Each structure stands twice: as C-alpha cells, then as structure tokens.
Structure 1
Amino acid sequence: MRSAIRSFATASAVIALAVSLPALAAPASAPASTPVALPETVPSDLPRTARPTHYRIEVTPDAKALTFNGKVGVDLVVFTATDALTLHGNGLKIASAQLVAKDGKATPLTASADEKAQTLRFAAPAQIKPGTYRLDIAYTGTIGTQPSGLFALDYPDKRTGKDTRALFTQFEAPDARRFVPSFDEPSYKATFDLSAVVPASQMALSNMPVAREEKLAGNLKRVTFATTPKMSSYLLFFGLGDFERSAKMAADGVEVGIVSPAGSGAQADYARDGLAQILPWFDDYFGVKFPLPKLDNIAAPGSSQFFGAMENWGAIMTFERILLLDPATTSPDGIQDIYSTQAHETAHQWFGDLVTMAWWDDIWLNEGFASWAADKITDHFHPEWNYRLNAVDGREAAMSLDALPTTHPIVQTIRTVSEMEQAFDAITYQKGQATIAMLEDYAGADTWRAGIRAYMAKHAYANTQSKDLWAAIEGAGGKDVNRIAEAFTRTPGVPLLRVSSITCQGGQSRLSLTQDAFSLDPASRGGTKPVWPLPLLVRVGETAPARHLMTGKTDNVVLPGCGPVLVNSGQLGYYRTLYDAASLQKLVASFGKLAPIDQYGLVRDNLSLSMAGYQDMAAGLSLLSAVPASADATLTGNAVGLWQAVYDLLEKGEAQQQLGALISRTWSPRLQKLGFDPVAGEPLTDTKLRAQLIGTLGAAGDAAVVAEARRRLQGLATNPAALNGPLKRTWLDVAATNATPSDWELLRQQAAKATGVVDRQLYYSSLGAARDDALAAKTLDLAISGTPDATSGSQMITSVSRAHPEQAFDFVRAHQAQIDKLVEHAGRPRFISRLVAASTDPTMVDKLQAYAAALPADEAKPIIQAQTGLKQRLANRPTQRAQLAAWLKTQAR
C-alpha cells in the first residue's frame, strides 16, 4: 500500500443524520444473476461479506475552490452477518452514513478511515444480518490538479485566450475511491445512476446520455444521466466545462460524438468521422453490438506523462493533442495517433468494459488486446500507412524490458495500489499485443475471431481470467493455443532461437535449431533456461512459408526448397533469431526481395542482437545499410529513425562526426527530392517521412537542415504563425536542440503568448531540448517557477533529461518538494525512472540505489528497473562504441 496518501477526515464520526439522496431512475437491469460473495480465487482488499448492485450518486463540484460535495446510495447484498461494512475511500471526508433495510428502517453508522489501506469502515451498533440494503453516505472530497480521481485542467479559451477551467475524472486503476465511497475493484460490477449540480452554462458529461435537467436557483442546474449497464467502478466518468459536441450517427445506429473545448470547431471532424467508421467494424468483429446509446470521446486540454486516453464506457477521455486535428500543430505522426488511439480505446469498449478482467493480474487482457485490435483496424482502413511495421517497434519495446533481470510475466501478481499503478508498461501492452498477434496467426484468423466472439457472448457484463479466453479459442478449434499462451503469458523473458546451420541437399533445406533465452545482462546468460513452445513460420527462398511448432530445446526442421531462409516470416513470433554468419549474409544479399515487414523486423532484431553482444555491431549495421534510400516511405522513415538511435550511441568526437556525415550523404538526397515543405495532396506517409528525415538529419548535425531550422525559428519573432503546419514540432525540435540563448528566449516568449494549450505545451517542452548545459539549467528553473501549468512543468523536466539525464535527476532530488506538486504521488517513481533512461554515468547507479532504498519495496520497482537498465548500458556501451567506430572505418569515403 502507499506510504503517504491524502489525509481523510477525523478517524471516526458518530452518525446521526439521515442522508438526503436525489430521486433517480430505477437501476437498469443487468443480465439476470443472483449476487454471490466474491470467490477466494479473486484477490480483494475488502472483506467478502457484501457486494454492490447499484449506485445512486450526486456530486456538486466547486471548480474554483477545488472541492466537491457528494451523496451516494449503494444498493448492496450482505452475505454473512457482520458488524461493519468496508468500502474503498481515499481523501473523502464522511459527513453522515446510514444503512437502510428493505422495510425502510434506517440505522446510523459510525465511519472510520484507514488511510494506508484506502478504505472506509462503517460500523453498525448491532450485527448486520444477511440481506439487501441501501448504504447512504454524505461526504466531501477534493478536486486534484493531476489526472487522478476528479481533477481540474486549466487552459486558454480558444475564443478569448483567457484561462478557464474544466473538470474530468480518471479512475483507473484505484481512483474511483477518490470520487465516491465504493467497492473499487473490477470484480464488483454494478449499475450507476449519476447526477450533478453544476453551473447552468456548462456542459456535464458522463457514460450515458442526459436523462433530464432541472433548473435550480443561483444559475445552477441538476443534470441526471441515464442508468449505466453493469460495469466496474473504474469505468465511471464525469466531466464538466465549457464544451461543444460534434456528433454523427454511425452505421450501427449509435451516435458518436467528439466533445471538445468550445471554439474547437472543425478540429473535431477527423476524430468524429474516424469514430463513426471504427465502431461498427468492432460490432461485427466481436459479434456483439455496442450496447450503449452513444459513444463520446472527450478532449481534455492538457496531458499526462503516464497515459494518453482512458476507455470509460461510452465516454472515452483523450488528451487533446491526440484527439483534435489542428492544421497549425498536428504532425503526420499525430494524425495517425488520433486514429489508432481512438481505435485502441474503442476496442476497450468490448475488451475491458463489456468483459473485464477479474483482477489487475490480468490487466493485459485489456491493454494487450486493445493494442492488437487498434493496429488491426488501423491497417484495415489505412493500408497505405503500412501500419503493421509499428508492431515491430512494439515488440522491440517489450523485449527491451523483458530481457532484463527485473522483468515480469504478462500475467502479473499485483496486490498493492503501487503495483497497480506500475502494471501499465511495455510488457503489459506490447508483449501482450505481440503474443496475441502470434497466437492469432498460429490459430488462423477465422478460428481466432470465432473464439473471441464466443468469449464475448459468454462473459458479457462479467469478469474473466486469461484461462477463460484460451478456453474459448480452443473451443473454436484453436489447437495448442492454451499451451503456447500459458508459456508466453506466465513465463517471463525473451526466447532466443539460435540457427546454428542451414544446409541444402536434394532440393531440401535442413535447419539446425537450438532454443535459449535472450538477455541484455551478460551475467545472466548460461545455465538452465525455460523452454517455450515456439510457433515458427519459416520461408525458404520465395516459397510459401511453412508452420512448425518447436517444443524442445533443440530441433531439426526439413523444408522443401533451397535459398535464403527467413525463420520468423511475417515477424509475428515473439522471439529473437540469431543466425549463423553464412545464413545471415544470404539474407542481407536477398534483402531487396523481402516484404517491408520482414526487412524491418530483420533490421531491428539484428541491431538488438548486436547491441546486446550476441554478434558484432557490423552484423546489425549491414542490414540497416541494406535499406535502400528509395524504399517504401514508412520503412524508410523507420530506418532513418534507427540511424538516429545509432548516432546517439556515440559520444561527441570523430566517430560521431563520421556517422553524421554518413547519414547526411545517404539520406539528404531523399529529403531534397521531397523538399522542406509539404506538397498539397501528397500521401501522409510522405509528409511523415519528410518529418523524420528533417529530425534525424538535424539531430546528426546536417548543416543545411540546422540552418533552415534556425531561419524558420527566427520567423517567429515577427510572425507567431511562421512555423504553423504539420512540421511545426519537427522544426521546433531541430531548432531547440541547437538553440542559442537568444533562440531559447524566443521560444520562452512564444510559450508565454500561446493561445492554445497544445501550442503552449509544445513550446515549453521544446525549451528542454537544448543541448547547452546552461540553457538546460534555465529550463529546469522555469519548470518549477509556477509560470507553466503543472503538466507542462513536468514535461519540461523530462525533455531536459533526454540530453542531460544526470542534471535533471540531481535537480529533481534537490527540489523534491516543488517537483512533488507537479507529479502525482503514485507516478513519482516512474517519473524518476524516465529521467535516467538515457544515462551512462556510473555514479548514477549508487544514486538510484539510495533513492530506491528510501521507498517501500512495491514503489521502488521502477527505480530498480531503471538502475538495472543503466548497469546494462554501462556494460555494453564501450563494446558497442568500439565496434561501431571500427565499422565506420570500413565505410569511409
């Protein structure tokens, strides 16, 4: 549990006052079932003596004072006699509470709080007998300034430029308890009636449409929303502000809407039209029509370092920068993010909302599936984006964590609030996604979908564990799915498939394979390693790929045909493939004949193997060099990004200058062909490639690009719109990286004058990109000065850390009290861990050790993980640099 949380009211209060609750509509009927006590097989922080069936909630927020009043009536079933009822509550002050029996008799209760456990105990004067009751509670709470619980975001009004305030909620994982006393765990599903007393001029939002509005005195109104379906508490949503809504009817008859700050206008159109396209497709895929009458996506004018959007049922919340398309600031990457993020959150309406994991151990059932589904539908509707290549990047992100000693299985053991907060990582998302993609490919797309549909139909409005999904897939004909899935979701680590030799005789290729475990830590290699059932898809030459399930540590596979052998054809296997030198060279020679997905997968896999010391850096670089400058735009952009990552491996000096020159002469002709400015009607992928080329060439010191960035930056002095367009972020990044003191001051002035929250945060964040140490120090001081908003301040510090990790870390530790105001308590360890993600300073090892030692074990995990990653970089970086320098000598011209 957390060591420090917001304080409650006094430890106990004798209750004598009945709670007055609003008259709300009768609860919506969920699928017929008799409530039963939560089984012991499902973890819980609460006694299993009762469970809720329905909540009636009324809130009255005071946005100016950052407080709210609340009333709730919880219909519940008591299963065993008890002297008290225990619910979750965090930072709530209880004014009164009573228990109302079916006959209307009310019993006052005494409330006490356990701050560490985040629970409220309501004690009765006599034993509460089994039966049905209503628990009525009146309480007050606080409105936060960080995105958890009920929180406020301040932003400049798009019409007037004046600062205004809006309210939103964010409850995943453990924060509905900040809003209402509740059974705040995913298996305690119930229906919800929500009403709010709010300013008459503002728009109130929730999961369901407004059922009615009542005018009240004092320019107020009571807004009552329709009853929700049966759902988990973390999916409840409330929003309030000066909003506008752009809506249309989707093909399935559900109204979809984009709710945004007033004055957004046409910025909502792209997301609205995309949502109307996405929703019916998922209806068909999952075999269950979206069960709510509307689906809104609400644009929150701010940001968080820890999440971008939340799948509240019927009321998705997404930060504005990845929902609204502003021609003045939205990058080509941003346009794709709008579509794919919205697809991810819409997929959650089924995987997570309709069917919910029983406990946070299986959070990957939400996130891995939503990530997989988002890529699937994005590729379906936008094949021209070649979006499948993104899955390779996701695989690599997961493996970078999964190959460390601090890894964890996909199905985790989560028991504390801190562990809940930290569960949302690349293993949960990207390894989960990669495992699902591998299983779908192995089972077959039709079989997989049939299993998913059966799973949805059987478990709608209920909770599940991973095993329930595997049973559904195997029931649809997915052979060996459970066996493979159990291994990959419960065994941590990355399989390493060693291809020791490939021989061809009599028109057949014979592969000699050995299974191992890939590790970024040389000290962890060797010894007994797990054996995974590996679904292989092997292509010989240009023949059709063949499937093979490798179930032992060694295997000999014989396939028809001769030619270069690609073991992980299609790049859907979650394992690394280490080829012998001769076999790898044949793949390099035939690189141009491979599909872009295989080209990119081979490059990333072999670069990672090289950087980990399994093979010389030359092996990975030979494949990266094989990507032609005329390749597919998406593949080219990704390859160019990898060259920038390789450039960043080197310290300033001759080798880095040589690599910068190599990058310039290889890729500047492609940029010259595209030009510095977008062309009307060009494919989005060309615009995106241009941005990547400018960014990489600028980072590598290309003189023409750096000069052009500074020229364009100077235009801001006389024209605030000088950089407007899809490349605004790109040019700012290059200019800010190479900023002089006068450049930095110009950026600061633009940030102070910005009239939009996205623009404002973009300028403030760019200040931290400066390579100059003194400018980095000025940015850090500004971040805690109170001038930018809290989320901008924390972003500025993170931005500084990319080039100055040690400076940023030391600054944060020296100003911890001010930093704590910018970052929510639960996110601080993750915030610190990100600051040192690029560090290669040996002294940082002891600093991180000291910081971790002062934290509870469950909160220290991100710090230990960051320390482990740092040790790995310290061990591998000297060899990487030496081999890279040696390779560069062979490329000299």
Structure 2
Amino acid sequence: MPRPASFAGEGPVDPSAAHRLPRALVPRRYDLHLRPDLDQARFEGTVRISGEAASDVREVLLHAVDLQVAEASASAAEGPAVPCDVELEPEHQRLRLRPAEPLPAGPLRLDLRFSGELNDRLHGFYRSTYTDPEGRTRTIATTQFEATHARRAFPCLDEPDAKAVFAITLDVPEGLLAVSNGPVVDEEPLAGGGRRVRFGDTMPMSTYLVAFVVGPLVATEPVRAGGTTLRVVHVPGKEGLTGFALEAAAHALDFFTDWFGLPYPADKLDLVAIPDFAFGAMENLGCVTFRETALLVDPGRASQLELQRVADVVSHEIAHMWFGDLVTMKWWNGIWLNEAFATFMELLCVDHFRPAWRRWVSFGLEREAALAVDGLHRTRPVEYPVGSPEEAEGMFDVLTYQKGASVLRMLERYLGEERFRDGIRRYLARHRYANTETTDLWDALEEASGEPVRQVMESWIFQGGHPLVTLAEGPSGPQLRQEPFTYGPPLPGEPSAIGRHWEVPLLVRALPEAPGPATGAEPGGSGGDGEARLLLGAEPTALPPLPGGGVPVLNAGGWGFYRVRYPRSTLETLAGRLGDLAVLERFGLLGDTWAAVLAGQADLADLLTLAGGLAPREDPDVLGQLAGALRSLERFLDEDDLGALAACTRAIVAPSLAELGFERQPGDDERTLTLRSLVVALAGTVGQDPEVQERCRALFAAEQAGRADLDPDLAPAVVQVVAASGDRSTYEQLLDRYRHPATPQEEMRFLVALADVPDPQVAAEVFELALSEVRTQNAAFVLAALLGSRLHGPATWERLTARWDEVLARTPENLAPRMLEAVRWLCRDRALAERVTDWLAAHPLRSGQRTVQQALERLWVHVGAVERLRSPAPAALQAATARLGEGRGAAGR
C-alpha cells in the first residue's frame, strides 16, 4: 500500500540514492590479508577485489573511512596492473580510484594496500581489553561491521546487496588465537615470530557479516551439532561458563535445519564472547560475536530469566544464519525483516528448547514495550526509506525487533503454523545467496496459504501505529470497529506518523456465560473450532456468531498487535472471570487498561479492579504487566501519596507472598520461581514492606558471610530490595561484588543495583563510576538507571547536561539513545520536562534521534498522566486497598 500521507514529502523518493555507490565494479570475491598490531593499536593490510565491470572503467568508487590507502592498482582480465590515483572523501566515507588509463568492460580486479587504527569505539576493527589473573591488561582485536562499519577495516562495497565470497588471511602474533567466518585451512610460521592463518572461503555474503578476532583467547573443544562443528571462544578462566550456550546452540542448529528445510549454510560455527561489545550479539556468518552476559553463564548461579536471555540471544543469532545471512535484504530499509524474523524464530526455538519457560507468554512484556512506543505520534513504520549510515543505525529499535516479531506472530496464528512455515521455506529456497525486498516474503506466504498476505501485511509494515479494536452496539447488534490508538493529540505543530486503518486479522472467541469445570487446558488462542476468524477492515463489521455464545473475547489467545476496548459491562464480567481467560488474554486486558489510563480514556480504578482479580499463583508475566504500571505510579505520585501506593501494592501481592514465601518448595516449576522473585521485589520496593526488606537483608548478609547461598532465581530480587532500602554501607558491599563478580550476569546485577541506593551522594559517585571505571558498553545502562530513578533523576539530568561531551565520548553511538530513553521519567515537574525538551532539541544525536524524540513524547504523555492522576489516585488506591484487605498479607506470613 502507499505510504501514509504523514510521510509524503519527507526527503527524496529514494533517500538511499545519495548514499549508494555506482556499480562500476560488481564484486565477486575479496582476498583480504590483515596484520593487526595489538600493542600499537594499529593494523595494515591488503585487499584484492575481483569482479565484473559492465562498461569501460574510468573510475571506481569504494567505501572507506578512517583508513589510509598507500597504493592502489587495477587490472582487466589477465592484463597488467594499472596504477590508480587515490582520493579519499571522508565526508562521504568513500574512496575514489582513477586508473591511469581506462579499462575495458569485463573481469576487473582492484588491489589496494592500506592501514588503520584499532579504535576504542566498539565498531569497525576495534580493540577490547580484559585484566588477566596476574593483573595485566590484555588486548583483543575484534570487529563489529553492522550496519556500515566494514569500510573502517578495509576498502569495500559496503552495501548489503554487494555480496561476494571472502577469503581472509591474518598474521597473528605469537600465542594468540585467531577466528574468522571460515575454518582454518592453512597455517605457516612467520620469520619474525607468530604465524599466518588462512581461513576457508565463505559463501557469497554481505560485507557487514565479515568478522575476524585476534587475541589471548581460548576455545572449547569442538562438538558436533547437526553436522556442524561448534565451539565457544572466550577469555581464559571462563571455561565453566560455556556449557549452557553450547547446549542451546546445538539445539538451535538442529531445530532450524529441520524447520527451514535447508542445511546450515556455513562450514563451522564459533560463538565468541567479547569483553567489550556494544550490542547483544552479531550474526557474522560462522563467527558470531557476543557480549559476555549474552553467552557465558553458570546455570547454578543464574536465574531462569538470565538463562533465558542467553538462550534467546544464541537462538536469535543462529536463526540469522538462514534469515539474514543466506537470504539478505537488498537495503537497510529491509533490516526489520532480518531482525523481526530472527526474533520470531528465536522465540519459536527457545519455546521448543525449554517449554516450561512458556517463552511466547513472556514475550508479552516485550510486545507491550513495542505497543507503548507505537502509540506515539512520533512512531514510525516498521519499514521506511533509509538513506545515510546514521539512518540505518537508527533502525535497530523496539519497532524493528519487537513490533516486527509481534506482527509476524499475529500472521502465523492467523494463517496457521503449517501454511506459515511452508511459505517461509519457499522464500528461503527461492532466494538463497541472494537479496530480497519485503514483498518477496509476502508473495511466498501468499502462494503457500492462498490468503491476501501482501494486502494485510503492507497495512502493518508501511504505516506506523496500531488500531484500537472496539466492541460496541451497532444498528443491528454488536459490531467491531477500529480506530488508531493514540495517547492524545500530536505535539503542537507536528504531523502524526500513526496510520488510519489496518487489515486486522482478528481471532474472537466466546467466554461461556457461566464458569465451567477446570480442565487444566489453556483457554483461547488455539485457532480451533471455538474461535471466529475474520479480517477487520476500515468499516465496522458485525460481530460474527461465536460457538457456544457468551461473552466475546477479542484478540483470542492474546496474539494480536492491537489494543482492545470493551463496553463497561463486558469489562466488569471479564474482570470477574480472569481465571477463565488465557494468560495472554489476561495480560492484554491489563496492558490495554493501563494504556487507556495513560491516554485519559480509563480510570485508575479500572486497572486496580483487574488487579484484585489476579490469583495468588498468577502467571509471572501477567503480574509483571501490573508491576510495570505500579512502578510507573511510583514515579508519577507526589511523596505524600506514596504510602497509599505502597499499601495497595502490599495488598495486591500479599496472597502470593503468603502462598509462595521465600523458600523454594518441592514441585516448584520455573515459572513459580520467577513469580516468587517478582512478588518479593515488588513487595520490597514499591510496597515498602519492612518485613520483606528485613528478610532480604538477612538473606544477603548470610550470602555475603558465606553462611548460605542465595537461591539463583530469588537473588536478583534480593539484591534489588537490599539496594533500594540500603545506605552507604550497602553501596560499598554492592560495589565490591560488582568489582569481583562470579559471572557476567552477577557483574551486571550488582552494577545496575548501585543506582538504586537512595543516598544522593552515592548517586553522584555512581555517576562518576560510569564515566571512569565502568566499561563503555555498560555505562549507558548505569546512567539510564540513574536518570530513570524517582530519587536521582533530576540531579542526574543536571550532571549529564553539564558533562555532555564527556558522556558522549564514553558512550557507543547505538547506546546513547537507549540512555536517553530514561528521560520519559522526568515527569513530575512540568518545568523540568520543558527544560529537558528544549535541551535535547538543541543537542541532537548523530544516530538514533528518532528514539530520543519518542522518549520526549513519552515524557509528555507521562506529564499529562501525572497531572490527571495527582488528585484521584490516592482515593482510588485507598479504596482498592480496602477491597483487597490490607492486613491479610501479614497474617499469611
């Protein structure tokens, strides 16, 4: 479908045109030889680019930035090399080569000699460091090329559709390990020491998927999985943290080989843990790189959520080997297709790997984060025109990953699993080793299913926002209608990126008039006989007859990416029958109600009524949805009203706390362990429960003294409660644990907890730590935690703006927007919100500015909510507390 009017006239029709290279040369092969000098933080190398010229060649443009090119030559077919005049164009990140004489069309070869710096910005060819047991700083040379950073390591055609075979050779200093995309096929000693390592040719692939790592690293013994050699590469001493990743990766290789119906497309698979890494991981073909927390884990010390994070990321990156590496988008506007589909497949794979985790249910919280952004007028279409490298970098956000995956799941539920998988297999088989547009996928799914997939999905991909589906009484009975969901009008003088209407694939079921006998089955969302299936277009549609009659449940199963609004009578019925709803149906009811509260379309009492209907052993993600709203209220309310919020929170969680306690019980499944942790954290922080706080301090002290181990699933909650109710002595203990962690997960757990200590002087010291001691990959998360704190946010904002240049110098470009997302919580003071808005308007980021603009709009949504809720919230909280029974939690304990 055409782009909505709100995007008409935004830049050229094809903004990529100004940033694309003319294809004087179509590359077929790169022979790349690099010599990194880790001591001097430099590298030098040569590259031969072989390909085809469609016409006579008078000049060739390549990408290159932060490189020095010493010499270049060109040759046609088997002819002699012709020297080239070299002109670097840093502002365009280009290199212009002019042969001394024109070369004829046909085979063309370029040879270049170049050098560069191993930078400290976590992109291109960069250096990472760690401290060994003897206290020595050790250096690793590693790569991160997505989106447009291969050009920082070697001259190339750095565009995703310029696929070629890569043959990589590295000169490696003595005692260091080297890994790259292909397996090692040859090694020879060098005269001055060290060795020359040659890696096998890759399949044709994009430059952003090239990788090489050289450093004092070790690899696990290789294992075989699905016919593929699999290893984990890591710093010495962390061998004991590799087993879970190997297990998850072996499962993923088998799962995807079967699901896609195609063999793994590389010759081996190395998973490489890098101490300094700006992303979670990167899907380089055969050589996937990770930050350590996403790969190395001790199952005996990690919570289920921390294990899930590792399984998620490993599965996501391995899914990319097919969907992204084997078949690749033509240009960066299509990056959503890579990332959304890898997210979808990650969830499918992990749900198969650990069914007890109920991964599709827990994805609800991630989907809710996407809905929260997508309800803003400053949202964007999932796919939109992309031109500059900065615009490409800005695509890596919640809309690309979480909204994209949610829309794919909605489609899969509507089409059915088999037809969906058949379409994906058709797409991959048809386009392997090639590049595609989004419409190629829709066409394959349409052929496999016979459904109007392109018509439906273009309404979701090429316009921003999502619908609010309303059940209302029409002229001849109940009807369904849609309208765009918004939190309010656009900011003054701004257009809206939210679309007008969607082709909504609806699943609707009926809740029987009276509760039936418990069956133990999960109700709703099966796609079976108990559901009506329809496409809701722009015009109101009569509610179809529902098998069994009864109360309609829109978004049956909870898979749709849209909000739902019911008549009050229906909502009250559902609130009293929450146990008869599927988990994600309950989740959606809470999320939609809280969104309506933020939009001024519902009362806080509506949400609290739903809270009162939750069971003591509620699903942790359903309670997590409510917990998010309660934590938002903690930031919204005046100091004098926090007591009412705390009392209501205690009343909500008291039955769960009484039933679950602090101790793991025989028969507890993994979801129960997660629920217990959530209940303890909520009671001890927002609930300010003194008994819970004291118990957490006792558990932490016993663990500190070595008298008892903390339950790994309860440990994150205990640390959070101890920090939030702690003092300077607590801070010193947490700081020591951060500096001497047992695992990467514990390092991050204690680091982020430092920002929760309420002492303002501690907050000032944590800010200084973020600008000095903390790794640059983690500093942005510490600053975001301080900025989003009710207690420390305003003072952190003043520090941040006073030292802005220093902050940006220590923050990887992709993480600066993530840090500034936390400004949405600076909402209790309208004057501060205005200063924040003005300051960020005057200090735009180079990359990710759209994310910052969305955070500012969310700030003003929150300001509006603060001002609306300030008066009625205390009474609503007190009334809910009275209904729930304030004292029952203490009696139960």
Query: Structure 2-normalised TM-score?
Result: 0.89
Correspondence 1:367 to 2:339: yes
- For 1:241, the equivalent position in structure 2 comes to 215
CA displacement 1:507-549 (0-9 Å, x = unmatched): xx95222211100124589999622111111101257011011
Deviates more, 1:78-87 or 1:364-373: 78-87
Amino acid at match of 1:539: R
Mind listing any 5+ residue stretches in structure 1 that lack a counterpart?
A: 1-38, 504-508
> Matched residues in 2 for 1:328 and 1:727: separation?
13
How far 1:87 moved relative to its partner? 0.9
- What is the alpha-carbon root mean square deviation over aligned residues? 2.8
Query: Could you tell me which of 537, 552, 564 is aligned with 1:551?
Result: 537
- For 2:131, the equivalent position in structure 1 comes to 156
- For 1:52, the equivalent position in structure 2 comes to 27
Correspondence 1:794 to 2:780: yes
> Matched residues in 2 for 1:400 and 1:666: separation?
24
Correspondence 1:323 to 2:281: no
Correspondence 1:620 to 2:595: no
Query: Could you tell me which of 666, 691, 707 is aligned with 1:704?
Result: 691
- For 2:356, the equivalent position in structure 1 comes to 384
> What secondary structure sits across from 2:788 in the alignment?
helix
Alpha-carbon contact 2:222-2:231 (below 8 Å) kept: yes
CA displacement 1:717-761 (0-9 Å, x = unmatched): 755997684444332222222231222233334434457665445
> Matched residues in 2 for 1:793 and 1:181: separation?
32
Go from structure 1 to structure 2 and tell me whether the alpha carbon gap of 1:256 and 1:839 turns closer, same or farther (over 3 Å shift).
farther
Alpha-carbon contact 2:507-2:531 (below 8 Å) kept: yes
> What secondary structure sits across from 1:800 in the alignment?
helix
For 1:393-408, list aligned pairs within 5 A: 393-408=365-380
CA displacement 1:760-801 (0-9 Å, x = unmatched): 4543332222233222112112322x3333334333322211
> Matched residues in 2 for 1:105 and 1:256: separation?
43
Amino acid at match of 1:765: V
Go from structure 1 to structure 2 and tell me whether the alpha carbon gap of 1:217 and 1:809 turns closer, same or farther (over 3 Å shift).
farther
Go from structure 1 to structure 2 and tell me whether the alpha carbon gap of 1:828 and 1:52 turns closer, same or farther (over 3 Å shift).
same
- For 2:876, the equivalent position in structure 1 comes to 887
Correspondence 1:661 to 2:653: no
> Matched residues in 1 for 2:192 and 2:654: separation?
64
Go from structure 1 to structure 2 and tell me whether the alpha carbon gap of 1:832 and 1:557 turns closer, same or farther (over 3 Å shift).
closer
> What secondary structure sits across from 2:205 in the alignment?
coil
Query: Could you tell me which of 555, 568, 573 is aligned with 1:568?
Result: 555
> Matched residues in 1 for 2:797 and 2:90: separation?
30
Alpha-carbon contact 2:393-2:847 (below 8 Å) kept: no
Deviates more, 1:546-555 or 1:222-231: 546-555
How far 1:654 moved relative to its partner? 4.5
Amino acid at match of 1:809: W
Alpha-carbon contact 2:464-2:498 (below 8 Å) kept: no
> Matched residues in 1 for 2:395 and 2:857: separation?
18
Deviates more, 1:347-356 or 1:835-844: 835-844
Deviates more, 1:338-347 or 1:818-827: 818-827
- For 1:590, the equivalent position in structure 2 comes to 577
> Matched residues in 2 for 1:113 and 1:827: separation?
29
Go from structure 1 to structure 2 and tell me whether the alpha carbon gap of 1:259 and 1:527 turns closer, same or farther (over 3 Å shift).
closer
User: How many equivalent pairs are there?
Assistant: 845
Go from structure 1 to structure 2 and tell me whether the alpha carbon gap of 1:635 and 1:821 turns closer, same or farther (over 3 Å shift).
closer
Go from structure 1 to structure 2 and tell me whether the alpha carbon gap of 1:840 and 1:239 turns closer, same or farther (over 3 Å shift).
farther
Amino acid at match of 2:445: I
Correspondence 1:354 to 2:326: yes
Go from structure 1 to structure 2 and tell me whether the alpha carbon gap of 1:623 and 1:486 turns closer, same or farther (over 3 Å shift).
same
How far 1:186 moved relative to its partner? 0.4
How far 1:90 moved relative to its partner? 1.6
- For 1:337, the equivalent position in structure 2 comes to 309
Go from structure 1 to structure 2 and tell me whether the alpha carbon gap of 1:834 and 1:674 turns closer, same or farther (over 3 Å shift).
same
- For 1:119, the equivalent position in structure 2 comes to 94
Alpha-carbon contact 2:30-2:165 (below 8 Å) kept: yes
How far 1:47 moved relative to its partner? 1.6
> Matched residues in 2 for 1:251 and 1:176: separation?
30
Go from structure 1 to structure 2 and tell me whether the alpha carbon gap of 1:720 and 1:130 turns closer, same or farther (over 3 Å shift).
farther
Go from structure 1 to structure 2 and tell me whether the alpha carbon gap of 1:512 and 1:312 turns closer, same or farther (over 3 Å shift).
same
- For 1:213, the equivalent position in structure 2 comes to 187
For 1:450-529, list aligned pairs within 5 A: 450-501=422-473, 510-522=477-489
> Matched residues in 1 for 2:442 and 2:297: separation?
39
Amino acid at match of 1:598: E
Deviates more, 1:657-666 or 1:312-321: 657-666
CA displacement 1:826-867 (0-9 Å, x = unmatched): 653453344555544433334333433344887643332222
For 1:272-351, list aligned pairs within 5 A: 272-304=246-278, 307-327=279-299, 329-351=301-323
> Matched residues in 2 for 1:150 and 1:494: separation?
40
Go from structure 1 to structure 2 and tell me whether the alpha carbon gap of 1:125 and 1:856 turns closer, same or farther (over 3 Å shift).
farther
> Matched residues in 2 for 1:780 and 1:668: separation?
36
How far 1:669 moved relative to its partner? 4.7
> Matched residues in 2 for 1:111 and 1:720: separation?
68
> Matched residues in 1 for 2:436 and 2:90: separation?
30
> What secondary structure sits across from 1:262 in the alignment?
coil
Amino acid at match of 1:309: A
> Matched residues in 2 for 1:146 and 1:526: separation?
35
> What secondary structure sits across from 1:767 in the alignment?
helix
> What secondary structure sits across from 1:57 in the alignment?
strand
> What secondary structure sits across from 1:866 in the alignment?
helix
> Matched residues in 1 for 2:423 and 2:332: separation?
23
> What secondary structure sits across from 2:121 in the alignment?
coil
For 1:743-822, list aligned pairs within 5 A: 743-754=730-741, 759-784=746-771, 786-803=772-789, 804-822=792-810
How far 1:825 moved relative to its partner? 4.2
Alpha-carbon contact 2:781-2:819 (below 8 Å) kept: no
> Matched residues in 1 for 2:328 and 2:52: separation?
21
> What secondary structure sits across from 1:768 in the alignment?
helix
Amino acid at match of 1:315: C
Amino acid at match of 1:536: L
> Matched residues in 2 for 1:137 and 1:613: separation?
62
> Matched residues in 2 for 1:787 and 1:76: separation?
47
Amino acid at match of 1:335: L
Amino acid at match of 2:768: D
> Matched residues in 2 for 1:529 and 1:795: separation?
33
Alpha-carbon contact 1:629-1:636 (below 8 Å) kept: no
Amino acid at match of 2:551: P
> Matched residues in 1 for 2:499 and 2:42: separation?
54
Alpha-carbon contact 1:565-1:587 (below 8 Å) kept: no
Correspondence 1:438 to 2:438: no
- Matched residues, percent identical? 29
> What secondary structure sits across from 2:756 in the alignment?
coil
Deviates more, 1:510-519 or 1:176-185: 510-519
> Matched residues in 2 for 1:442 and 1:404: separation?
26
